[in-house]
Structure 1
Amino acid sequence: MRHIGQAGKIFTLSAVASVLVLTGCGSTPKTQSKPVVVEPTPIETTQVEDNVTPEHKLLEAKKVWERTRNKEQRDTLLLQAADLYLQNQQPVLAQQVLYEVKEDGISGVNQSYYALLVTKAYAGMPDASAEELLAMLDGVTGTGETAFQKAELQTQLFTQQGNLAAAANSVLKTNLTDDEKVQQVWQWITSIPASSLDSVGSAYPDLSPFITLRELTEENASSPEKLAKSLQQFKQVYRGHVLENALPENVIEATQLTDAGANDIAVLLPLSGRLARTGQVVKNGIMAAYYTDVEKRQDEHLLPRLRFIDTNEVDTQHLLSEIGDTKFIIGPLLKDTVERLIPSLPLGVNVLALNRPDELPDNASAKGLATGSSNPAIADDALASGTGLAGDDTQNELHSLGLPTSLNYYGLAPEDEAKQLAEFIFNKGYRAPIVIAAQSSLYQRMDDTFKKHWRILNNQENKQRANITSVSFNDSNSLREGITQALDVAQSNERINQIEYMTNDEVYNMPRSRRDIDAIVAFASPQDTELLNPIIEASLNPYDGKQVPVYATSRSMDYDSGKNQWRDLQNVHFIDMPWLMPSHSWQPLQQEVEQAWQNQNTMQKRLFAFGFDAYQLLPQLGMLNTLKYLSHEGLTGTLSLNQQGEVIRKQPQAIIRNEKVQMLSE
């Protein structure tokens, strides 16, 4: 293809003809009943007339060149043709015109226009580099429509890169309405980790008011009334800012909530029968949180009345009768009771259920939870968070009552820990783990959840195959055999033996483990994990110079076994409740608990923390449901709510070093 307008040559139609030929053989232009109405060009120095086609501009460019040999005027017309092609959803033809213009060299007056059009033509294409296009946009100057289009493209490209802060900053420079700007920026600002907000504010000063607003809502999360007063001061400080008259919708909703005022709370727990011990420990946690409130408020008249209702072997009608007109409920604890009771509750009730049903939309991980066991440890496994049962219509009806009404589900589901562990390991960059799971229903469920979520994470990177090596065991022998085979140590030994047999000489070599494995994940009891870790260390070749980390969940930790356990679990990473960590923020509370309930075992400590957090969460549900980015730092972890009303629990990471539990900051 010849280049357009070379010096000393007559401009015929090198660019024009090539574009027109492509028009003819690529796709036949559709006949339009109405002429295309073209918006004003993004460059202030040129204007595209109404009711013209790209071909008109190409022919006009030809005539200008033949008559005047004015390169700048000709190129301006060609760029306008490319602009029209883009507006007519014909990017290939636009790209061809832009290529021809580039080959002849871009004059200074057209540099910005050209860069803007090239970015528009290639933004969003799979092979286009967002980084290169953003660099090209840096050279675009201009005001008005040009600046708006530049900001819109920058927003698109920064979003593709996942740079939400830069995207939010660019949105503010677009020609969207104030409400649209605020809602979009607020969505991104509340998606950024709190730890990054200071650096975001320094890099993008225009976002500082939004960051201040987020911090303000977090500081006043306990009281809609206090939040409303703080917002009035905020508006005075930022008078004239877009946020003065266009606050985010969910912030406005939060100020309109009624303070919880939970003066009567019904707690539904199994307090007799085979699960009485489990129910009693949860009750102890609730009572401890209640008395912590007593110390804070210093006014018993402001405290709610707690009523504990035994759910053991009673029907739904009996529970409804016991609940009466109570508007705040904690529980039930058992899954089948939750499934029976929640749909029968009247409107206007605030519920924090301590389990979730089997069948929930978009939540297959809840299936197969075991409940009703006489073993307290198994009963603990049944505690699972879940999704609200009420549909959108019901939620709207509840909202219309003017109460902080919510249906939420909170628990200690083992599947949730498996999912968190998968995300943590994946975000660390590991891609080829060995997953070792004991052959029991609990650990197999965790194994299934981990693998399912691992596939989802791989799919997000467009990887068709999740590279997982699975090991399942039911005793120490199958555990050892499974690990050695998974690490390829057994095959390595066989190769050494074959060489010795063939040469009749002893081969001085070490069995070598697989080099592709980058992490090992264990779903096993504390006792099995103590056996597993030394086997792994013995199976890994020390001469490889590669350390393969071992990861586990709280289900592999027992804090009652003494120091020997920590010795056998050396270097194992795991997640667990802050309440079980050696250094946490509730030391005075821990001392009181140890005096009141001596010799609590590990499972009882977890159930206690569960009850404590449930009580503290109840009055915050209205605000947490409205402002999803808010969280509560609880004994069981960092607690927040998702769109379905599930309490999402993020636990901290720790590692065993020198026979001690050591918290990790990441």
Structure 2
Amino acid sequence: MNAPIKIILFLFISLGLASCASGPAVMKLNPDEAELLFARGEYQKADALFLDMAQQMRPYKRTPLLLRAAAAEASMKNLAAAKQTLQGLQINYAKTDQRLLLRLAQAHIALTKRQIDQVLKLLDAPPPVGSNHFYLADYYDLRADAFTLSGNRIETARELIKRERYLDDAALIHANQEDIWQALAMLTEQALMQLRTDPPPNVLSGWMDLVRIAKTYQLRPAMLRQAVQQWQHTYPHHPADRQIIESLLNRQQQDVSLPKQIALLLPFSSKFAKAAEAIRDGFLGAYYARRIKNRQSIHIYDVTNNDVTAIYQRAIAEGAGFVVGPLDKTAIARIATHHPLPVPTLALNYSLNDNIPANLYQFGLSPEEEARQVAERTWFDGYVNAVTLVPAGPWGSRVVQAFSQRWREIGGKIVNQETYNPANKDFSRPIQRLLNIDQSKRRYRSLSSLLNRKLKYTPRRRQDIDFVFIAAYPRQARQIRPQLKFYRASSVPVYGTSHVFTGNLNPARDRDMDGLIFGDMPWVLTDSRHPRSLRSKIEPQISRAGHSLQRLYALGIDAYDIIPALNTLKKYPYERFDGETGSLSLDLKQQIHRQLTWVKFVNGRPVRIDQGI
């Protein structure tokens, strides 16, 4: 090629390159950025980024990005968008990464629908060797979520441990380890010991031992430190975050609040006198059973709404370093007007959601909180369409409102609601209305009249019901459950609050409630008590009020026992306190929440349905 031609070609190529360089800017493709957002739970941002990158790719290269976008959309509970994104995708089944991403997207959709078995079926086969570490982390996270929904805490922790191998972001690793801790913290010390099958240095066994140690010595910092140091020798290479280990090693005795004088404020001269007596007896039962070596005194005050502020101030003037009570919501609101409260105060009810004084904690046996937990439980059990049956009156209204609000928040639908008169013995009419049996009868009568002859007829209930939520005490629940069966709803699950159970075993009378599912506290469930439960120790000393109002007696015990744990629960939100009323945690508003134990009536006895393993 001669020189002039070479020069012309050189100029042509140079001009072409310059032209390309001055064209529109192309966004740099970085799938890892979107994957990191996905792993952090920022699904909307991840989805937008996956879709933007897919638009810049040639059609045959878009599939992996669109599969991840569909997974993000499902995680946002936008199933319509996820299915639309998947529609028409050309999956190259010869490529192992595309097969894995399809399984992950489908599993995210199944998880959003709470189809636990489907999630585990899709993810039964292990992921291909050499898969992207983000995909592997998502694979194990999905399995962990499925086991969480099924109540299998051990398997949740096992999958999260596997997930951690594929995380390289420090914040994600720390959050993952807190999730491991929270899963195992739902188990009792006894369960953690019995279910640990592999010897050191097994990582899961190490976590189980560490959580058990933290529970056992939660209120004894010096012994906790020694036990953790011994654990470090046993598990020298365990991956537990240094922050978690140091938080255990650095706990001080001053973190354990041991007030010298406690004031107990209860309404003994009001309509709540019986409740006050049961709480007082439980509180004193715990005090005498667990009496600390240092001298500690309990001063008991009778309060009403009118004089609560004056008595509260008097108790502090007389030396109280900690106040337990009052019980009434109005009384709690009155003492809460003093900002800040002069001493830590544990109110025995939930009165405030806003403007809460720094020193005020709230703890109680709220039927509304139980109703919200029923909503969450039924959602986890995979149901969507609910009907509710509650007593007419303020109590039933509060319970059904709490249930309905939470049920709708998490995506459930209420297809019918009815009330009943709790004074009646026959609840057939509201049950027929609830199940639309009355409409079925009206259709029959109308058709018989139209044809002017008798027809062979079987009443039909509505078919769009997934479960029935009832609010009832034992007398009503023993009638409602059989009548639901009579009206052809025997196959429909029935859920209730702890109020359906007296707390005393009576198989002959409670057999009518067989199949009914409810949540209750360990104190009244004989096979669910934690190892340090006081029940067997103080059974002979339980007062008459304690026997008749068992749950309030247990509240009194926990109101005393939790005092030294409050600072720890406040400082380390992932920790729990195993109480007589349930597994207790403290939220950012300093409200104590109980995790109920779920049981089902079988042959008239409440039988635990989650063994926690």
Name the TM-score, length of structure 2 as normaliser. 0.70
- Give per-residue Cα distances to partners, 1:250-295, cap 9 Å, x unaligned: 546645853333322222222335544432321111111111114x
Question: What residue number does 1:138 align with?
Answer: 128
> How far did 1:444 drift?
0.8
Question: What residue number does 1:316 align with?
Answer: 309
The aligned amino acid for 1:470 is Q
Alignment counterpart, residue 137 of structure 2, candidates 152, 155, 173: 155
Question: What residue number does 1:223 align with?
Answer: 220
Q: What is the alpha-carbon distance in structure 2 between the residues aligned to residue 505 and residue 254 of structure 1?
A: 83
Question: What residue number does 1:289 align with?
Answer: 286
CA spacing shift, 1:548–1:29, aligned 2, 3 Å: same
Q: Secondary structure at the match of 1:508?
A: coil
Question: What residue number does 1:305 align with?
Answer: 297
Q: What is the alpha-carbon distance in structure 2 between the residues aligned to residue 588 and residue 293 of structure 1?
A: 14
Alignment counterpart, residue 631 of structure 1, candidates 564, 573, 576: 576
* Structure 1 residue 537 corresponds to structure 2 residue 530: no
* Structure 1 residue 264 corresponds to structure 2 residue 261: yes
**Paired residues of 1:519 and 1:550 also in contact (CA < 8 A):** yes
Question: What residue number does 2:116 align with?
Answer: none
Q: What are the within-5 Å matches in structure 2 for residues 90-109 of structure 1?
A: 91-93=53-55, 95-96=57-58, 99=61
- Give per-residue Cα distances to partners, 1:7-36, cap 9 Å, x unaligned: xxxxxxxxxxxxx9xx99xxx83499xxx8
Aligned-residue RMSD, C-alpha: 4.4
- Give per-residue Cα distances to partners, 1:152-190, cap 9 Å, x unaligned: 45335654666475455444444445xx46523322212
Question: What residue number does 2:419 align with?
Answer: 472
**Paired residues of 2:303 and 2:311 also in contact (CA < 8 A):** no
Q: Secondary structure at the match of 1:653?
A: strand
- Give per-residue Cα distances to partners, 1:286-336, cap 9 Å, x unaligned: 111111114xx6xxx434211112323425244223213533221122222
* Structure 1 residue 357 corresponds to structure 2 residue 351: yes
Question: What residue number does 2:181 align with?
Answer: 190
Q: What is the alpha-carbon distance in structure 2 between the residues aligned to residue 120 and residue 564 of structure 1?
A: 55
Q: What is the alpha-carbon distance in structure 2 between the residues aligned to residue 418 and residue 119 of structure 1?
A: 38
The aligned amino acid for 2:130 is V
Alignment counterpart, residue 339 of structure 1, candidates 321, 333, 336: 333
CA spacing shift, 1:199–1:499, aligned 2, 3 Å: farther
Q: What are the within-5 Å matches in structure 2 for residues 370-519 of structure 1?
A: 389-390=356-357, 407-458=360-411, 466-474=413-421, 476=424, 479-519=427-467
CA spacing shift, 1:559–1:200, aligned 2, 3 Å: closer
Alignment counterpart, residue 29 of structure 1, candidates 5, 24, 28: 24
Q: Secondary structure at the match of 1:268?
A: strand
Q: What is the alpha-carbon distance in structure 1 between the residues aligned to residue 60 and residue 214 of structure 2?
A: 49
- Give per-residue Cα distances to partners, 1:495-528, cap 9 Å, x unaligned: 3334444555543332122233232221234443
Q: What is the alpha-carbon distance in structure 2 between the residues aligned to residue 650 and residue 241 of structure 1?
A: 29
Q: Secondary structure at the match of 1:630?
A: coil
Does 1 or 2 have the higher relative contact order (CA < 8 Å, sep 6+)?
A: 2
Q: Secondary structure at the match of 1:615?
A: helix
Q: What is the alpha-carbon distance in structure 2 between the residues aligned to residue 540 and residue 208 of structure 1?
A: 48
Q: What is the alpha-carbon distance in structure 1 between the residues aligned to residue 482 and residue 31 of structure 2?
A: 71
The aligned amino acid for 1:466 is K
Q: What is the alpha-carbon distance in structure 1 between the residues aligned to residue 285 and residue 204 of structure 2?
A: 41
CA spacing shift, 1:154–1:119, aligned 2, 3 Å: farther
**Paired residues of 2:196 and 2:205 also in contact (CA < 8 A):** no
> How far did 1:616 drift?
1.1
Question: What residue number does 2:78 align with?
Answer: none
The aligned amino acid for 1:513 is R
> How far did 1:410 drift?
0.6
Question: What residue number does 1:328 align with?
Answer: 322
**Paired residues of 2:50 and 2:68 also in contact (CA < 8 A):** no
More displaced, 410-419 or 637-646?
Answer: 637-646
Unaligned runs of 5+ in 1: 1-19, 41-85, 103-114, 142-149, 362-387, 395-405, 459-464
> How far did 1:448 drift?
0.6
**Paired residues of 2:371 and 2:402 also in contact (CA < 8 A):** yes
> How far did 1:536 drift?
1.9
**Paired residues of 1:553 and 1:575 also in contact (CA < 8 A):** yes
**Paired residues of 2:468 and 2:494 also in contact (CA < 8 A):** yes
* Structure 1 residue 593 corresponds to structure 2 residue 554: no
- Give per-residue Cα distances to partners, 1:584-606, cap 9 Å, x unaligned: 65553463135xx347664x322
CA spacing shift, 1:630–1:515, aligned 2, 3 Å: same
Unaligned runs of 5+ in 2: 1-16, 33-47, 74-81, 87-100, 106-122, 146-155
**Paired residues of 2:467 and 2:494 also in contact (CA < 8 A):** yes
Structure with greater Cα Rg = 1
Q: What is the alpha-carbon distance in structure 1 between the residues aligned to residue 213 and residue 395 of structure 2?
A: 42
- Give per-residue Cα distances to partners, 1:39-73, cap 9 Å, x unaligned: 99xxxxxxxxxxxxxxxxxxxxxxxxxxxxxxxxx
Q: Secondary structure at the match of 2:255?
A: coil
Q: What is the alpha-carbon distance in structure 1 between the residues aligned to residue 172 and residue 482 of structure 2?
A: 56
Q: What is the alpha-carbon distance in structure 2 between the residues aligned to residue 537 and residue 223 of structure 1?
A: 52
Question: What residue number does 2:566 align with?
Answer: 621
CA spacing shift, 1:330–1:503, aligned 2, 3 Å: same
Alignment counterpart, residue 510 of structure 2, candidates 546, 566, 590: 566
> How far did 1:453 drift?
0.8
More displaced, 272-281 or 435-444?
Answer: 272-281
The aligned amino acid for 1:320 is Q
CA spacing shift, 1:527–1:408, aligned 2, 3 Å: same
What number of residue pairs does the alignment pair up? 510
- Give per-residue Cα distances to partners, 1:91-150, cap 9 Å, x unaligned: 1255317639x9xxxxxxxxxxxx8x9988987464464635899973537xxxxxxxx3
Q: What is the alpha-carbon distance in structure 2 between the residues aligned to residue 655 and residue 344 of structure 1?
A: 45
CA spacing shift, 1:155–1:280, aligned 2, 3 Å: same
Question: What residue number does 2:556 align with?
Answer: 611
**Paired residues of 1:289 and 1:616 also in contact (CA < 8 A):** yes
Question: What residue number does 2:521 align with?
Answer: 577
**Paired residues of 2:262 and 2:320 also in contact (CA < 8 A):** yes
**Paired residues of 1:335 and 1:355 also in contact (CA < 8 A):** yes
> How far did 1:423 drift?
1.8
**Paired residues of 2:507 and 2:605 also in contact (CA < 8 A):** no
Name the TM-score, length of structure 1 as normaliser. 0.65
The aligned amino acid for 2:298 is L
